[in-house]
Amino acid sequence: MSARTLPAMSAAAWLLWAGNILAEVSDDPYQWLERMSAAMSQMDYQGTFVYVQGDDVVTMRITHVADDAGVRERLVSMSGAPREFLRDSNGVRWVLGDDHSVLADPAFKRSFFPQLPIDHQGQTQRCYALELGGTGRIAGQKVRGVSILPKDHFRYGYRLWLEERSALMLKWELVDGERKPLAKLMFTDFRMGSEVDTSELVPGSQLKKFRTVESRLPAGRGEAAAAPRWQPSRLPPGFELTDHRLFAQQGASIFEHLVYSDGLAAVSVYVESGAGQEGQAAGLSRLGTTHAFSRLSDGVSITVIGDVPEATVRYIGDAVAAVTP
């Protein structure tokens, strides 16, 4: 049995299973989201989508295959500067811009598509309202809408349109606290299972010269068990500490990374000594819909980053202070 046959069978099995339980989950938005999360990582699919955010419009083509070799994804820009992204067990390689620079990061293995690990413990429910929407048709497929709407202005919400049988996401929309769209993604053609042309996974010629990218931030887990030396004195409702890494050297030099999450949105807080001397700008920055807020305090640089409204990164960043023993 070839490696290619296996994913086709698993996709068929997935569709069969999904079809059998469709009646049971059709009214439960949580189950739709769980199915979507699993389908986006486990199924084979391929398609072209348009992404719109502000004045940026990008048309891209994705091929996603999950087989014995693990998950392989390739994204190719169809408009604008030529860009190509390839993800496999070796990490990620990117072809960037007009100069065809190729970069690789073996540590960056996340999927290009959003994962939605909804918890049932109530954390998500406290901050978001989940609603099942109507049906429609996208890229020739029947879809079902699911909305994850924020209950305040500290976080974004999402509207998703999922293919009825498999729960694969065919349309995604990011909305603000007033439910106005901030960014949108929609497939314009889509195929899955055995219809996927895996030859599109083959990277372009530019990827032959890739080089490894290494962050100069401290690597490893650091003193994960150590208590935070700096932390915000207040957090928006629903946000809890989910990860903490402390790298402290002899003397006063420290690098501390705290991650807070409300179950969907995540915010990182970085505290670093000496960073301010390297010309780091203070204030608010924006990267698409991701915001960052930086300031200097007592000789350390404090930076808060997250895919949340700017008010949220500022709210947290303003409250970060040294923990008094």
Under rule CB under 8 A, which residues in 8-27 are in contact with other proteins?
A: none
Contact flag: residue 125 with other proteins (CB under 8 A): no
Contact characters 162-191, other proteins, x per CB under 8 A:
-----------xx-xxx-xxxxx-x-xx--
Residue 312 backbone dihedrals phi, psi, to 5 degrees:
-70, -45
Smallest CA-to-CA distance from 41 within 17, 6, 7 is with 7
Least Å distance between CB 207 and other proteins?
13
CA distance 196 to 269: 40
Number of residues that bind other proteins (CB under 8 A): 127
> What angle do the packed helices 5-25 and 29-42 form, to 10 degrees?
180
Contact flag: residue 159 with other proteins (CB under 8 A): yes
Contact flag: residue 53 with other proteins (CB under 8 A): yes
Q: Which amino acid is at 240?
A: E
CA distance 227 to 303: 19
Least Å distance between CB 285 and other proteins?
5
- Collapsing DSSP to helix, strand or coil, 188 comes out as strand
Contact flag: residue 305 with other proteins (CB under 8 A): yes
Contact flag: residue 39 with other proteins (CB under 8 A): no
Under rule CB under 8 A, which residues in 62-101 are in contact with other proteins?
A: 75-85, 94, 96-99, 101
**For other proteins, which is the closer residue by CB, 68 or 249?**
249
**For other proteins, which is the closer residue by CB, 107 or 227?**
107
Contact flag: residue 41 with other proteins (CB under 8 A): no
Choose, by CB under 8 A, the member of 16, 21, 107, 129 that binds other proteins.
107
Least Å distance between CB 305 and other proteins?
5
DSSP string, 219-244: PS--STTSPPSEEES---TT-EEEEE
Contact flag: residue 297 with other proteins (CB under 8 A): yes
CA distance 149 to 242: 22
Contact flag: residue 142 with other proteins (CB under 8 A): no
What are 113's two structure tokens? 């598509």
Smallest CA-to-CA distance from 58 within 25, 31, 82, 27 is with 82
**For other proteins, which is the closer residue by CB, 14 or 94?**
94
Least Å distance between CB 208 and other proteins?
15
Helix (H) or strand (E) holding 38: helix 29-42
